[in-house]
A and B are shown apart, each in its own frame.
Chain A
Amino acid sequence: MLPDQFNRFVSSALAHNIVFFHSGHLDQETVASIGSMLRRRLQDEGASSVQSRKVFTTFMEMAQNIVHYAVPDEGEAEGKLGALSVAREDQGFAVMCGNYLATEQVSRVRHRLEAVKVMGPDRVRDAYRRQLAFEGTDPDSKGAGLGLLTMAASARSPIEFALEPLPEGERTFLFLKAII
């Protein structure tokens, strides 16, 4: 990257009010260290303690989703890859993530995202509580949908999402955005 390209990159990040950005491998250690970095950044940004907690909670659920469900990028043998970002927007902090999913998971994920999207805050709380008490195990879900409900309970508007299948067919790009 040449100095002027780097400048453009930095200016673009500033223009989009990016508070935090990480793209690449994610594992438990990385999640812990970027989590504490994010806490510091939110403090510097003057976020209230309520807002900070909700941003952090949402960010951590997204990060842990990537660690559990992401599939490797093309040409990568293994490893969990994903992008995570927090930006300041007019309505609040936007917490966003993007990663590849196995296409066979898409209908389950879409169904869940759509179901939660139409719930108001009260139904989110009820669903969260039901999932918490649910004793069975869903073999495809390590957290039984609780992670998504946690994000929805933290956000001030419904979680936005996009699912874009890659031309090769096996993987689909998942984008999530929560406004806190």
Chain B
Amino acid sequence: MSGFHLPATAFTPEIQFTPSLGTLVMRGESYPENVLSFYAPVLEQLRQGLEDRKLPFLQVEMHITYYNSASAKAFQRIFQLLNRAAEAGSVVKLLWHYDEEDDMARDLGNNVREDYPAITVFDMPLAAV
């Protein structure tokens, strides 16, 4: 199976891609010192995984409690890959979790809906504690 699992660190989220279940989960904070060197291999593995086996269904859960501006840019590359997989026939759902008071995170979810229309985006606002 071409899945992978990266444990979370202080600056990078946990990332778990499980093709057999059709899931991709990202959870934690994202502000690696070098965003490219962290996300390039993630993108490459994800790209290969999505190409190896066409998934009928992929559920993507993103629970990123803090991301820096460079990570927001890296997320666009992930959305691009997901959009491509969706255009190729996979049903791709994105569960975008964010703090309901966080305008920028809410906007980012809306941008995905507009810019990557093959992905079905579900807003998952969390009430502030």
Contact = CB atoms under 8 A, between A and B. Distances in A.
Interface of A: 27-28, 31-32, 49-50, 53, 56-57, 60-61, 64, 67, 125, 129, 132-133, 142-144, 146-147, 149-150, 153-154
B128 interface: yes
Contacts of B31: 31-32, 60, 64
Contacts of B115: 133
Interface string B52-90: 000000000000001011101100100000000000000
A60 B10 CA distance: 14
Contact of A129 (B10, B101, B111, B128): B111
Given A67-B33, A150-B104, 17 more contacts: A27-B33, A31-B31, A32-B10, A32-B31, A49-B128, A53-B102, A57-B66, A60-B66, A61-B68, A64-B68, A133-B76, A143-B73, A146-B72, A147-B68, A147-B70, A150-B69, A153-B104
Contact of B11 (A32, A129, A132, A154): A32
Contacts of A50: 101-102
Contacts of B70: 64, 142-143, 146-147
Interface of B: 10-11, 31, 33, 66, 68-70, 72-73, 76, 99, 101-102, 104, 107, 111, 115, 128-129
A177 to B, nearest CB: 18
Contacts of B73: 132, 143-144, 146
A13 to B, nearest CB: 27
B35 to A, nearest CB: 8
A53 B69 contact: no
Contacts of A147: 68-70
5 contacts: A49-B128, A67-B33, A132-B73, A146-B73, A147-B70
Contact of B68 (A53, A60, A133, A144): A60
Contacts of B101: 49-50, 53
A153 B107 CA distance: 12
B128 A28 contact: no
B66 A56 contact: yes
B66 A132 contact: no
B68 to A, nearest CB: 6
Contacts of B69: 61, 143, 146-147, 149-150
A116 to B, nearest CB: 13
A142 B34 CA distance: 9
Nearest to A145: B69
A125 B110 CA distance: 13
Given A49-B99, A129-B111, A146-B69, A28 B76 contact: no
What 5 A-B pairs have minimum CB-CB distances, sorted nearest first?
A146-B69, A28-B33, A150-B69, A143-B70, A147-B69
A56 B104 CA distance: 14
